[in-house]
Chain A
Amino acid sequence: MSKLKRLLVPKRIPFVFWVTLIIFLFVIPQFSGKYTIYMVMSILIFSLLCLSVNLLLGYTGLLSFGQAGFYACGAYGCGKILLIFPQLLPGIIGGVVIAGVVALILGYFCVRHTTIYFAMITLAFGMMVWALAMKLREITGGEDGLGGIPRAILFIHSLNMEPMENYYYFVLIISLIAMFLFHRLVNSPLGLTFKGIRDSESRIACTGISIRNTRLLCFTIAGMYAGLAGALMAPLETRVTPVCAHWAASAEPVAATIIGGMYTFAGPLAGAAIFFLLKDIIVRFTEYWLLILGVIVIILVLTLRAQGLAGVLQQSLFSRLRLNFEGSRNERSDIKH
């Protein structure tokens, strides 16, 4: 009885919420069709991309408009490896490593700057990846991209990943691990340093921490998360095209993150789900879905402002339930860049 009581104490609600959500995600394939599974996978992958944007935007205060570039690096890297050597895990790891290395190199140029300059430079470098994907025909397949990427076996138990359901569990487990690690990261001393840089650069500099190196580290980790998202996407879609590196693709996770609430852990995840479902619904009704999506994004951004959905909910509904999204209790809501 006391156990049950403890479970019902408001403090435990976030825990219960997360566990229910995870259990629900695990049982989805039992009662739903292929399309739902595909959608959930896409949302999970998009969430990872949003986390990548949020690590820079919400935690370190840098707005990257080029994350799709690293996403594409991961996707192309993974696709290329799988085409040559059909083993799923090396493909994914390879994609992540390639994206990380590219992020490290490009990050060197980017992290000298902040705010608008940073956004412009990341956008330009993201487009450079796009241009490379278009032009290096021999490696990337040009405008047609890479096709016929196999959903290769997972070599540990030689598991067959060809059926959607099996691949779903792979994506789910990898995403959950990545999200858990992300949560650990942003609540670690390093995560605190990131937040410190966001809030007061000069104070962090005074403690002897190299601002530029920390930003570069953050940029690299964010690039790896984007690369992971891309690497998981390549076998799912079985093809990679340069479109996924375009800056329009970079803007989507930024919009989703801001709508969801950028200074929180859960906000971007919620934003990713909302944005993706919204897009999916609108596309069914009209050819001019970008028009409607744009209007909805403008309305949401103008009403929610910098707090996002998570911030607004926290203030009104959830504060009564004491359902705190992690890492947001001490957040400033009026950060000016």
Chain B
Amino acid sequence: MDTIVYQGLTGLTAAMFLWLVSAGLTIAFGVCGILNIAHGVLYMFGGYFLFTFYQLLGLNFWLSILLTLISVGLIGLVMELGFLRPIYKEPIGIQLVLTFAFVWIFDDLAKLAWGPVSKIVAMPRFFEGFIRIVGRPFPIYSVFIIGTGIAMAVFIWLLLDKTWWGKSIRASALDREMASALGINIRTLFSGAFVFAAAIAALGGALSVPLRVVGPGIGGAIIVQAFVVTVIGGLGNLKGAFVGALIVGVVGAFCTLYIPVFEMFIIYIIMAVVLLIRPQGIFGEIR
């Protein structure tokens, strides 16, 4: 019993990283209509920047996270302004190849800047303890991750549902032309949404380094999982992304424990089952 709870919580922690990446992916797709394959690389940059600010420069943990979000946000801004803006109207093939080329470039840039060896950050001292859950010690940091993930979900929901900015975003996602006719500046809105999406992924990456390593190639690994999450949950649907991330994370954790042979491809089987029963994803709408 306690093993199940423990493994469930571990899975939940993994799910939160996935959720943060998928949320960014979903927002960028929902608003700008671009499937950003390089989104996983932004997650990776989150990890690398936290390593630089916190470990190398010795800054305060929270300040490092803030600086990480700003830096990755800037990278997102450059991507959106310089490269994605000219191709919003092109076929998806062009968009995917372009964002994929960014995966190559960013992977190699990371290798140039931080070397090919994986990096890990020492756990901040105030997170070093454990709490007892059903009689077994569970790291406080993981509890913090789960809390942050849920808090981000609430934050994104409030932002999109209750603020003027969120309203304009939803309006322009529904009908770009009408929204701009009503005086919404679509261009700044798109840039803003893309930067926000990049920052969410960076937050996931930054929070992951005290727990997992960051190295070249982890961006590609997490984006594939995020794709599976969005397909399971329904494309362009944040609720779906959250539930999908939970499913993938928790099932993955239990699979590692009980049937390790299936560990790597159980998520694809879940995806196939969901596609069979509900082709548009759990929360997806039929268009």
A contacts, CB < 8 Å to B: 57, 63, 65, 109, 112-113, 115-117, 119-121, 123-125, 127-128, 131-132, 134-135, 247-248, 251, 254-255, 258, 262, 288, 290-291, 293-295, 297-298, 301-302, 305-306, 335-337
Contacts and interface: CB of A to CB of B under 8 A. Distances in A.
A258 B99 CA distance: 14
The main secondary structure of chain A at its interface with chain B is helix
Contacts of B102: 294, 298
B1 interface: no
Interface string B68-112: 000000000000000100110111111011101111110111011
B15 to A, nearest CB: 17
Contacts of A119: 35, 92, 96
Contacts of B220: 247-248
Given A255-B97, A294-B101, A121 B108 contact: no
Contact of A255 (B89, B101, B109, B279): B101
B107 A254 contact: no
Contacts of B134: none
A112 B278 CA distance: 11
A291 B108 contact: yes
Contact of B231 (A120, A247, A295, A301): A120
A117 B231 contact: yes
A175 to B, nearest CB: 24
Contact of A288 (B35, B93, B111): B111
Contacts of B89: 336
A306 B104 contact: no
Given A124-B231, A306-B90, A306-B94, A290 B104 contact: yes
A123 B264 CA distance: 15
B200 to A, nearest CB: 19
B235 interface: yes
Interface residues of B, number: 42
Contacts of B263: 135
Contact of B97 (A132, A254, A288): A254
> By CB atoms of chain A within 10 A, which of B100, B263, B279 has the most?
B100
Given A288-B112, A302-B87, A302-B98, A132 B104 contact: no
Contacts of B101: 255, 293-295, 297-298, 301
A131 to B, nearest CB: 4
A107 B9 CA distance: 36
Contacts of A306: 90-91, 93-94
A107 B68 CA distance: 41
22 contacts: A63-B96, A113-B279, A116-B35, A117-B235, A120-B227, A120-B231, A127-B268, A131-B265, A131-B268, A247-B220, A255-B97, A255-B100, A290-B104, A290-B105, A291-B104, A291-B105, A291-B108, A294-B101, A294-B102, A297-B101, A298-B102, A301-B101
B109 A291 contact: yes
A258 B93 contact: yes
Given A112-B279, A135-B264, A293-B104, A302 B97 contact: no
Contacts of B86: 302
Contacts of B271: 121, 124
B206 interface: no
A135 B93 CA distance: 31
B224 interface: yes
Contact of B93 (A125, A248, A262, A291): A262
A251 B100 contact: yes
B237 interface: no
B221 to A, nearest CB: 9
B189 interface: no
A119 B230 CA distance: 12
Nearest to B34: A116
Contacts of B111: 288
Contacts of B93: 57, 63, 254, 258, 262, 306
Given A120-B235, A247-B224, A132 B108 contact: no
A38 B101 CA distance: 27
B108 A288 contact: yes
A115 B235 CA distance: 12
Contacts of A298: 83, 98, 101-102, 105
